Amino acid sequence: MKYPNGKQYSSAGKSPGTNFSQGYSNRGMTLEEDINATNTFYLDTDRAVIHKKPTPVQIVNVNYPKRSAAVITEAYFKQASTTDYNGIYRNKYIDFEAKETKNKTRFPLANIHEHQIAHMKSVIHHGGISFLIIRFAVYNKTYYIPAESFFPYWDQQFKKDGKKSIPYETITNEGYLIPFHYQARVNYLAIIDKLYF
């Protein structure tokens, strides 16, 4: 391959770890970045209105070195956040948590907090749709897990000899693989359509 200036492409100059045979989804994007891009696509195409929830922060100190460059030097989380994303799709309230793990064999339940589970249960109780999106970074595979399917695994950890994680095989069998798409990188609405509409 030649560049527009006529020079030949050489793989010797590429940065370490770069693999040009990888798919677009392997180019360093995090799950959060992929979901944010997906949500922007949904908004731009008028499919859904779903946003990342801001984390409530109490600002304590601000440094003003000059008028146009205020710097927050001290701040604290006001309260524990609930889930990562919420919005509306086809007249249904949508609320979900997104987690990425580097673990190859299991999803540690320590990645989720009790107040998040309580929030998801409340969303379902009131007729909303709640779920988790879990990405296994090592395999670059992303799964949709309905909250109702996740709750039994969460609850069993508190029993005697309860497991503190969900095996990867269980997630692949009980979850829904979300294939990568160019614009809707994490097209979770396709799964929601199949499950609810």
DSSP class of 73 = E
Q: What is the pLDDT of residue 56?
A: 66
Q: How far apart are CA 58 and CA 137, in angstroms?
A: 33
Q: Could you identify the residue written with the tokens 């989804």?
A: 25
Q: What is the pLDDT of residue 128?
A: 98
Separate counts of helices (H) and strands (E) for the chain: 5, 10
Annotated binding-site residue? 82:
yes
Domain ranges for the chain: 24-54+80-196
Residue 14 pLDDT > 80: no
Annotated binding-site residue? 193:
no
Q: What is the pLDDT of residue 71?
A: 83
Q: What is the CATH number assigned to the segment(s) 24-54+80-196?
A: 3.40.1350.10
Q: Residue 39: in which H helix or E strand, if any?
A: helix 31-44
Collapse the DSSP code of 8 into the 3-class scheme (helix H, G, I; strand E, B; otherwise coil) and give the result: strand
Closest CA to 90 of 193, 176, 178, 181: 193
Asked which of 34-43, 46-55, 163-172 is least confident by mean pLDDT, the reply is 46-55
CB 59 within 8 A of CB 75: yes
Residue 59 pLDDT > 90: no
pLDDT tens digits, one per residue of 146-179: 999 999 999 999 998 889 999 999 999 999 999 8
Strands 129-136 and 92-101: parallel
Collapse the DSSP code of 2 into the 3-class scheme (helix H, G, I; strand E, B; otherwise coil) and give the result: strand
pLDDT interval class at 39 (50, 70, 90) = very high
Q: Is the pTM of this model over 0.85?
A: no
Q: Average model confidence (pLDDT) for the chain?
A: 85
Give the CA-trace dihedral at 172, 99, 94, 185, to 10 degrees. Answer: -70
